[in-house]
Structure 1
Amino acid sequence: MPWQHKIAYLIGKPVGISLSNGQGTSGILCDVSNGKLLVLEYLYQSQFALKQYDFHMIQDINGFPPCMSQRLY
């Protein structure tokens, strides 16, 4: 399925984004507006940044899988 068809179901959820330049990023998909994805990304400590990615920069986008329920301690 093309990534453009996935985004409506992923708003408000954690996503991984593959960029056309071979890099990637992850965060919460906050909104889609004017051909851009708005993604809330963690920076460090208690700081977050709302970043914009133009559609032409995106290769694919996927929601995070659910956590395994195994306890490691």
Structure 2
Amino acid sequence: MTTADILRGVWALSALGLTILVLLHSPKGDAGLGIGGQAQLFTSSKSAETTLNRVTWMLAITFIGLTIILSAGWVG
């Protein structure tokens, strides 16, 4: 298994995770989660939304960064 294969796996998992997290976001103007109701892990819907935003941004940055690295051919 090469480094490129590992990065492609991480890239695919970040794409899947990003898709799922975007679907979990609430519609504009609503509080809480869009799918599945309010999360029991969080004390409020505001903290759930804040956590979702942070994780979504981290996955988006990972996905975009790996897309650039893999498409540029910097990894053999």
Where on the TM-score scale, by shorter chain, does this alignment land: which range? Answer: under 0.3
Higher fraction of helix = 2
| Greater relative CO (CA pairs within 8 A, separation 6+) | 2
Higher fraction of strand = 1
Compare CA radii of gyration and give the structure with the larger one: 2
TM-score w.r.t. length of structure 2:
0.25
TM-score w.r.t. length of structure 1:
0.26
